[in-house]
Amino acid sequence: MNKLILCLALVLSGASLPGYAQTTNAPAPPRIRGNVAVNPNLPSLFLIGDSTVKNGSSDGAGGQWGWGDVLAPLFDTNKINVVNRAHGGASTRTYYRDYWPPVLAVLKPGDFVLMQFGHNDGGPINEAVLSQAARSRGTIKGVGDETQEITNIITKELEVVHSFGWYEKQFIIQARRKGATLMVCSLIPRNSWRDGKAVRNANDYGGWAGQVAKAENAPFIDINEIIAGQYDKLGQEKVNALFIAGAGPHTSLAGARTNAVCVVAGIKGLKDNPLTVFLSEAGKAVAPANLTQPAK
């Protein structure tokens, strides 16, 4: 059995990887590491993204967990800090505007950034009516340079809105200026199925993330395809247990751990992988993903 499939089978069966509790009923992961930079003398791996990376306060409220909440045990945190700075509800636009500046301010040479966006970028660019649910977080679809000037209904300020790809490029460019390495992830798949297969996002945000990474010569980890491929092998009935309800995208603790394993498999599948030396014994037990197969 492929080692990656075995890892995911362990998640669902109640067994565990060495040093990494995997069961659905396992205690919540400790919050001391994985959410704060505990040692300024070590390199740091910053995670940026939305609620599928970090849900709420990373305490499992409502049974929801992001994969970044449980990634730290797959790394040796005596060698690298794993710092989850994702933010629920964020799109590339709102993260770049509101949450990226403090991350950028502390980036140093030798640090890493793992980026995953796309779940919230498809919302309205500017809400028609201000309401409790209004967010005005959408971006222009694609990777182009077109812009749209608005008066933001939330902030009441003039704002120039760019494309999804434009914002992703800025993260890459600005991280490099600080001497950090930014790795681009495609968004995790939802619990959506068509003709017995998990639905991919190669034709929208997943594909656009790949295009940006290629244009900027940045490492690209197609976790959308990696995870969807594992879902296909597990089958919809078993995959249902990895989500809180419905089509997702919010995952249970088991689902977050499954996705974290797939993220590490993707990292290990990169041709040039500077993070290998920072993996824990649990991370070393994960087989590298085959990143040569095109997304379907």
Asked whether residue 110 is domain-assigned, the answer is yes
Beta strand 197-198 with 193-194 is antiparallel
Asked whether residue 290 is domain-assigned, the answer is no
pLDDT at 248: 78
Asked if residue 21 has pLDDT above 60, the reply is no
Asked whether residue 70 is domain-assigned, the answer is yes
Structural domain tally of the chain? 1
Asked whether residue 68 is domain-assigned, the answer is yes
Asked if residue 36 has pLDDT above 60, the reply is no
Asked whether residue 289 is domain-assigned, the answer is no
- Which residue intervals of the chain are DSSP H helices? 3-13, 92-94, 100-106, 164-177, 205-215, 223-234, 236-240, 253-268, 281-284
pLDDT at 2: 58
Asked whether residue 179 is domain-assigned, the answer is yes
Measured CA distances, 20 to 57, 195, 213 (Å) = 21, 34, 31
pTM beyond cutoff 0.75: yes
How do residues 66-103 score in pLDDT, each as one tens digit? Answer: 999 999 999 999 999 999 999 999 999 999 999 999 99
- For residue 290, what pLDDT band results from cuts at 50, 70 and 90? confident
Domain of 279: which CATH number? 3.40.50.1110
Please, what is the Cα angle at 54 between 261 and 70, to 5 degrees?
Answer: 35
Rounded to 5 degrees, φ, ψ at 249 are -95, 0
CB contact at 8 A, 69 and 54: yes
How do residues 153-209 score in pLDDT, each as one tens digit? Answer: 999 999 999 999 999 999 999 999 999 999 999 999 999 999 999 999 999 999 999
Supply the range of the domain harboring residue 37: 3-284
- State the amino acid at position 21 in one-letter form: A
